[in-house]
Amino acid sequence: MSDGIVMMMIGVSTLLGAIGLIGLVWAVRNGHFDDHEKFVDAVRHDNVEDLRDAAELEARRKRLKEQKRRKRTQMPPD
């Protein structure tokens, strides 16, 4: 490769890295990664009934996903 191409690649990658870093700093300063209600909601919804409901919902999702997969793999009758 020529030196010009290598220098251009280094410049572009440095610019993209700087843009990503500036975006990350902006997001942290504006509170986009703060979740103050996470712990309050965890305590509020931390009981046996909610855990049972969550497990039932997950099982239902798995059953529906399996049914859809079976439906797609079945061949229509001729």
Residue 78 lies in a domain: no
Whole-angstrom distance, CA of residue 33 vs CA of residue 37? 12
42 and 19 assigned to the same domain: no
Token pair 């509170």 in the structure block, residue: 31
49 and 30 assigned to the same domain: no
Identity of the residue numbered 54: A
Global pTM reads: 0.46
pLDDT band for position 62 (50/70/90)? very high
29 and 41 assigned to the same domain: no
Residue 62 lies in a domain: yes
Residue 8 lies in a domain: yes
Q: How many domains does the chain have?
A: 2
Whether 42 shows a pLDDT value over 90: the answer reads no
pLDDT at site 76: 66
Q: What is the DSSP letter of 46?
A: -
Question: Phi-psi bin for 74: left (phi > 0), alpha (psi -120 to 50), beta?
Answer: beta
Residue 45 lies in a domain: yes
Whether 67 shows a pLDDT value over 70: the answer reads yes
Whether 57 shows a pLDDT value over 80: the answer reads yes
Does 29 or 51 have the greater pLDDT score? 29
pLDDT band for position 73 (50/70/90)? confident
| Host domain of residue 8 | 1-34
42 and 28 assigned to the same domain: no
Q: What is the DSSP letter of 78?
A: -
